[in-house]
Each structure stands twice: as structure tokens, then as C-alpha cells.
Structure 1
Amino acid sequence: MLDVFTQRRIESLMNGYVHEKVPAQLRTMVKLTYELKENELILTEERPRGQRYQWERMPIARFYWEGDQWKVYASDDYSSWSPVEVIVPCPDFEDVLEQVERDESGVFWRERD
């Protein structure tokens, strides 16, 4: 399990990341959120659903702390995760987040229906 200091550091990093990723003028149409629990962080994209004040959540990436390193997974079909082989597990969360941001394999930031 992650220590409190590491959790707070990751929360601070992610709060800045999700704030900067989506421009202010688009935040009524799309937003990024994350959920940090124990050894796992799930990054999601949310878009408005047909009903007022409801958002549809689409998972983007799963970061999992195991064996003193972060492993990254991509969403297959909104319910399962597959390891992203091109991102080598790493002890530095910022490093794996940067690789997800660059998305050189094209598995995270694809067009959504």
C-alpha cells in the first residue's frame, strides 16, 4: 500500500494534470477525473450524458503499484484491463504518467463514440 506522503504527492500531481489537460472552455463537454485507492489509480474521461447533470465515465488508464514499481494498463472494453507492454514498469509515477500522456502506442487518447 502507498504511504500517505506518496498518495498526497500523486493527488497533487494529478489535480494539476487534469486541470491543465482540458482547456477551460471545453470543461462543460469533457473532463478528466481520477480515483486513487490503495495501490491503484484509475484515470477516466467523462462526457455529458443525455440527462442533465449526468456524466458518462470512460476509463482511460490504470496505474497499479506492485513490486515497488508502477505498471500501466489500458481499458479494453470499459470493463477489463490489459497491460501496456510498451510502457516499462517504473518506480516513478510521473514517468509513467508522461508516457500515457505521450501515448506513442495510440491506446489511451483515441476517438471515443
Structure 2
Amino acid sequence: MLDMFTQRRIVSLMNGYVHEKVPAELRTMVKLTYEMKDNELILNEERPAGQRHQWERMPIARFYWEGNQWKVYASDDQHSWSPADIVVPCFNFEDALEQVERDESGMFWRERD
């Protein structure tokens, strides 16, 4: 399990990241959220659902701390996880997040219906 200091550092980093990633003028149409539990962080994209004040959550990436490194998994259309071979496992969470951010293959940041 991650120590409390590391968890707080990642939460602080992610709060800034999700705030800066989506421009203010688009936040009624799309938002990024994350869920952190134990050794895992899941980054999600949310868009308005059919009902008022409801958001549909689509997982983007799963970061998992294992063997002293962050491993990253990508979500497919059925919301199951596959290892993201384009992301090199690394010790620093920031490095793993940066690799997901730079995604040139469209594995994480793909067009959604």
C-alpha cells in the first residue's frame, strides 16, 4: 500500500491536472475525474448522460503500483483493462501520467461517441 505522504502528493497532483486539462468553457460538456484506492488510481472522463445532472463515466487509464513501479493499463470499449505497452513502467507517478498525457497512439485519448 502507498504511504500517506505519497497518496497526498498524488491527490494534489491529480487535482491540479484534472482542473487544468479541460478548459473552463468546456467543463459543462466534459470533465476528468479520478478514483484512488490503495495502490490504484483510475482516471475517468465524464460526459453528460441522458438524464439531467447525470454524468456517464468512461475509464481512460488505470495506474497500479506494483513491484516499486507504476504500471499503466488502458480501458477498452467493454471497460476491461489491458496492459498499456506504450507506457514504460516507472518509479515516479508523474512520469507515468506524463506518458499517458503524451499518448500519440490514441490508446487513452480517443474520440468518444
Alignment TM class, shorter chain as reference: over 0.9
> What whole-Å deviation, never above 9, does each CA across 1:47-102 have from its counterpart, x for those lacking one?
00111000000000000000000000000124210001121110100001000000
Contact residue 58 and residue 78 of structure 1 kept, 8 A: no
Where do 1:1-113 residues align within 5 Å?
1-113=1-113
Unpaired stretches in structure 1, ≥5 consecutive residues: none
Supply the distance in 2 between the matched residues of 1:105 and 1:85 (Cα, whole angstroms).
11
> What whole-Å deviation, never above 9, does each CA across 1:8-66 have from its counterpart, x for those lacking one?
00000000000000000110000000000000000000000111000000000000000
Runs (4+) of structure 1 moved beyond 2 Å?
Answer: none
Supply the distance in 2 between the matched residues of 1:63 and 1:78 (Cα, whole angstroms).
18
Tell me, what secondary structure is at the counterpart of 1:10?
A: helix
Supply the distance in 2 between the matched residues of 1:88 and 1:95 (Cα, whole angstroms).
9
Supply the distance in 2 between the matched residues of 1:47 and 1:103 (Cα, whole angstroms).
21
TM-score normalised over the length of structure 1? 0.97
Q: Percent identity?
A: 83
**How many pairs does the alignment contain?**
113
Supply the distance in 1 between the matched residues of 2:44 and 2:107 (Cα, whole angstroms).
14
